[in-house]
Amino acid sequence: MQDFFDFLVQQRDKLAEQTLTHIGLTFLSLCLALLVGLPLGILITYRPRLASVVLAVVGILQTIPSIALLGFLIPLLGIGIWPAITALFLYALLPIVRNTYVGIREVSPMLKEAALGMGMTTGQMLIRVELPLALPVIFAGIRTATVINVGVATLAAYVAAGGLGEFVFGGIALNNSNMILAGAIPAALLAIFFDFLLARLQQLQGLRLRRVALAFLLITPILSAFYWVPLGSQAKLTAGFAHEFYGRADGYPGLVRAYGLQMTPKLIDQNLMYEAVRRGQVDLISGYSTDGRIKAFQLRVLEDNKNAFPPYEAALVVRNAILKQYPDVIKTLHLLEGRLSDSVMTELNYRADFLHESPEAVARRFLQQTRLLIPPVQTKRAGKIVIGTKIFTEQYILAEILRQLLENRTTLEVITKTGLGGTKICFDALAAGDIDLYPEYTGTGLLVILQPPPALADSIKSDRKAVFQYVSREFQNRHKLTWLPPLGFNNTYALMMRRAQADQLGIQSISDLKRYLGR
């Protein structure tokens, strides 16, 4: 618990910024939902045939998973505030529209008849009778929409829109519980606070309720102004970094130490970075050197001329118990040693990421071309092996290569558990025996899992062989896990820019980038 409080103290400025951004996101989307939802709810009250259609549509929007909704919006709106606000706006519509409709419909018909008998027009009756009486129900809808938006707004960090989700996503990527709690607890407290406050306001009656409702409508745009995200346009170049890269010692902090880079990047899901730079929404991204989208999107990988990033040779980490229990496994896996060069892996990633071929098809073609598949022998499966992966394309392809190869050459049943998340999640699953092997990278094993003294890491990180020998020895001694020989490619972290922009600015290396930013 003390570690958590220490983290909050260290990150208090960032936490305050993210909290204000989160409130702004919530109320900006709520403001838009009120502008649309209240008139729409009133309209369908007087158009019964339209009511069923509108309520059905906003109801369907409410059932779409938030990540899926963002996935639909990103191709249309890109990344940043607009897909986040649009998603939150759509989620807030249902309770506001429905409660406005229900609240007005439930006003006593006798009161409506009396109002008409007094000579009121439809508009006068709406303003003087129906809306005042429907306010408690309408306020309940606004209360529900507010609480929903506070929760869903954490996903705004997925599309670089800021908010408390930055801590949540970063904590998940780095398996940092303190970071996750630093985002989740304030978000939960905001939801509880706004729910309690609006519940108290909802209990008011008569003129006091009408005054409070009007005040709330006036305050909502003011709270919307809390939305603030550091704008990349304030700098010469806009950077978009993955949450994991920004927090890992071998990522952005390593660049700061080696080059003295000082940037305020947008934090974005690693699977969206390439689309963001392709669209011109950011100028610089943290990527992976064997990613197929480098070729597809005409990107320039900036030379790491000071060796800030260690080697990341891909290899398989296997539990010793599996190698002893199934001797055929190690013999089969050794067939992949050195088979996957940088260019081969880049091509496989390109086929999956850009040509949209399935990892299964990409893996099968590779195994066929390298003649690693043999005519299968029809035998009963005896035993099983579980393969895990992290949550990006390359790992899915490697998992399929391993699955198909093992099923082809052994009698084992192969189970794949893909998309396990960050490095620590995969490693912990392996150490606990929940999975039996997974593809890992030597630089990650060195700096993220083993975390040797900085002096030792700096002394070996420029030597691929030395790094592999160190992680192989230490994993065996500390965790009883075996590193098999490297697969053949080095998927290192890299900074990337659009090739045309890099040529125009004369940026070939990270040192060139530093000089350009310092002018």
CATH number for the domain harbouring residue 220: 1.10.3720.10
Q: Are residues 363 and 420 in the same domain?
A: yes
Domain that holds residue 374: 313-491
Residue 231 is predicted with a pLDDT of 41
Are 269 and 301 in a shared domain? Answer: yes
Residue-wise pLDDT tens digits, 469-483: 999 999 999 999 999
**Mean pLDDT value across residues 147-175:** 86
3-state secondary structure (DSSP) of residue 317: strand
The reported pLDDT for the residue numbered 232 is 39
Note whether residue 374 is domain-resident: yes
Burial of 221 (0-12, 13-18, 19+ CB in 10 A): middle
Do residues 208 and 283 both lie within one domain?
Answer: no
Residue 230: predicted pLDDT:
42
For 340-401, the DSSP string reads: --HHHHHHHHHHHHTS---HHHHHHHHHHHTT---PPP-----SEEEEE--SSHHHHHHHHH
In a domain, 234, yes or no: no
- Regarding whether 13 and 105 lie in a shared domain, the answer is yes
Q: Do residues 452 and 253 lie in contact, with contact meaning Cβ atoms separated by under 8 Å?
A: no
CB 34 within 8 A of CB 217: yes
**159-173, 252-266, 392-406, 449-463: range with highest mean pLDDT:** 392-406
* 188 located within any domain: yes
Q: Last residue of some domain: 194, 227, 260?
A: 227
Evaluate whether residue 125 is within a structural domain.
yes
Residue 362 has pLDDT above 90, yes or no: yes
| Whether residue 474 is found in the same domain as residue 425 | yes
Distance of CA 392 to the CA centre of its chain: 12
Distances (CA, A) of 316 to 28, 139, 175, 383: 47, 57, 21, 20
At 229, the pLDDT band (50, 70, 90 cuts) reads very low
For residues 223 and 225, give the distance between their C-alpha atoms in angstroms, rounded to a whole number.
5
Residue 309 · residue 494 · CB < 8 Å: yes
CA distances for 296 relative to 15, 273, 285, 341, 346, angstroms: 37, 14, 15, 19, 11
The model's confidence at residue 149, banded by pLDDT at 50, 70 and 90, is: very high
303-307: average pLDDT: 90
C-alpha dist (Å) from residue 30 to 78, 100, 268: 21, 15, 24
Confidence at residue 213, expressed as pLDDT on a 0 to 100 scale: 82
Any idea what the CATH number is for the domain that residue 278 is in? Answer: 3.40.190.120
Q: How many helices (H) and strands (E) does the chain have?
A: 26, 10
> How many C-beta atoms lie closer than 10 Å to residue 119's C-beta?
7
Q: In this model, does residue 337 exceed pLDDT 90?
A: yes
Residue 433 belongs to domain with CATH number:
3.10.105.10
Of 176, 196, 227, the position where a domain reaches its end is 227
Mean pLDDT in residue range 70-88: 86
Are 176 and 291 found together in one domain? no
Please state, for a pLDDT cut of 70, what percent of the chain lies above it.
98
Tell me what pLDDT residue 228 has.
Answer: 58
- Tell whether 487 and 499 lie within a shared domain: no
- The residue to which tokens 């506001």 are assigned: 96
Using a 10 angstrom Cβ sphere, with 0-12 exposed, 13-18 middle and 19 or more buried, the burial of residue 260 is: exposed
**Shared-domain flag, residues 151 and 114:** yes
Mean pLDDT value across residues 507-511: 95
Query: 314-319 and 481-483: which strand pairing?
Result: antiparallel
Same domain, 26 and 78: yes
- Tally of structural domains, the chain: 3
Of 102 and 269, the one with more pLDDT:
102
pLDDT given at position 281: 86
**Residue 470 shares a structural domain with residue 340:** yes
DSSP per-residue string spanning 386-404: EEE--SSHHHHHHHHHHHH
Among 13-17, 137-141, 223-227, 485-489, the minimum mean pLDDT is found in 223-227
8 Å CB contact between 330 and 321: no
Domain boundary among 202, 227, 252: 227
Q: Is residue 232 part of a domain?
A: no
Amino acid at 58: V
pTM exceeding 0.85: no
Cβ–Cβ < 8 Å for 289, 490: yes
**pLDDT beyond 50 at 49:** yes
Q: 488: buried, middle or exposed (CB in 10 Å: 19+, 13-18, 0-12)?
A: middle
Strands 493-498 and 284-288: antiparallel
d(CA 149, CA 24): 11
Residue 233, domain member (yes or no): no
Same domain? For 302 and 426 the reply is no
206 and 271 assigned to the same domain: no
Q: Phi/psi zone of residue 506: left (φ > 0), alpha (ψ -120 to 50 degrees), beta?
A: left
249, 458 in Cβ contact below 8 A?
no
| Contact call for residues 18 and 163 (beta carbons, < 8 A) | yes
